[in-house]
Amino acid sequence: MFRGLSAFPLTPCTPEGIDDAGFLRILERLVSAGVGSLGVLGSTGSYAYLTREQRKRVAALAKQQAGAIPVMVSIGAVGTAQVLQLAEDAQHAGADALLLPAMSYQTLTDDEVFGLFETVSRHVSVPVCVYDNPGTTRFTFSDDLHGRIAALPRIGSIKIPGVPADAAAAHARVQQLRGKIPAGVTLGVSGDAFAGLGLNAGCEVWYSVCGGLFPHTAKAITDAAARGDHARVTQLTERLAPLWALFRQHGGSIRVMAAAAGVLGLTQVDCLPRPLLPLPEAHCAAVAAVIEELGLE
């Protein structure tokens, strides 16, 4: 399942909790577009902001809507005890894979992060994707640590945060990391602005925020990558530059995607879990303009 387009949807919220109907509308959009897998409760899915009960419910709703499409569920938390509870909940809900970041509070050592993955890999029965996201977790994986972790049982993929902005350097980066990990473990690019570079550099999967709301737009890119059409991948990714610019402008993708879900009428415009606040109205208008201009769908 760690190949092609893995779509990372928002978890829309209301003041009362999860917006079930809005979440199901978003999922239906992804399922009917035929994405390769769903990655629920990723950073865009607000895993870090939700209670254990809310995370259980999100996993259950995703499995209910996904049909035959595999569902990966993030089990990220600061403490190993919390992570193991969440892993049990996710597996109970039917998760086909688990996504595990190295969330930090105290600065973690490599041995501590290895220990976390080692413990989880011993306790779970479904594949695990290593979630490398230094921007939010404040932990930076070395390639050696990736190698140690990827050799553990059940590790199926690594979600990397991006690649260098130059095609040759991106290729070298992916090759370097691949040299450290077992052959069966795939590499997935994240940080949507790097999607084209990462796919052309040999990443097997795009863990995609854009694909969590605009699955046709994102799937055209992973389909081109699957055909080996590097030029088309580059062209399709580069034309999305105005979307990546919005992500940069707003300190990440989550507030932009929440605004976009509201613009599309899938959720309320204010659909982020507190303490996160929605973009002001003027910025939502700019998001609407980019959706229209690029024909995102």
274 binds a copy of itself (CB under 8 A): yes
Q: Using the rule CB under 8 A, is 134 a contact of a copy of itself? A: no
Peptide bond into 127 cis (omega under 30): no
Query: Site mask, a copy of itself, residues 111-130, x = CB under 8 A?
Result: xxx-xx--x-----------
Region binding a copy of itself by CB under 8 A among candidate stretches 1-9, 26-34, 44-52, 156-164? 44-52
For this structure, is 47 an active site residue?
Answer: no
DSSP 162-187: ---SSHHHHHHHHHHHHTTS-TT-EE
Nearest distance from C-beta of residue 72 to a copy of itself, angstroms? 19
Task: Give the Cα separation of 18 and 38 in Å (integer).
Answer: 18
Q: Is 14 annotated as a binding residue?
A: no
Q: Which two tokens stand for residue 206?
A: 């795009």
129's enclosing H/E stretch is: strand 128-131
| Closer to a copy of itself by Cβ: residue 33 or 49 | 49
Q: Which residues on adjacent β-strands are paired with residue 17?
A: 14
> What pairing do the DSSP bridges indicate for beta strands 97-101 and 71-74?
parallel
Which of 105, 168, 179, 183 forms a contact with a copy of itself (CB under 8 A)?
A: 105
Can residue 79 be called a binding residue for a copy of itself (CB under 8 A)?
Answer: yes
Are 49 and 258 in contact by the 8 Å Cβ rule? The answer is no
The verdict on whether 207 is a catalytic residue reads no
Shortest distance, CB of residue 136 to a copy of itself, whole angstroms?
Answer: 5
Q: Is 17 in the site for a copy of itself (CB under 8 A)?
A: yes
Six-digit token string for 135: 């921007």
Footprint on residues 171-210 left by a copy of itself (CB under 8 A): none
Spatial CA neighbour of 158 closest among 209, 207, 222, 87: 207
Give residues in contact with a copy of itself (CB under 8 A): 17, 43, 46, 48-52, 54, 78-82, 85, 103, 105-109, 111-113, 115-116, 119, 136, 138, 251-252, 254-255, 273-277
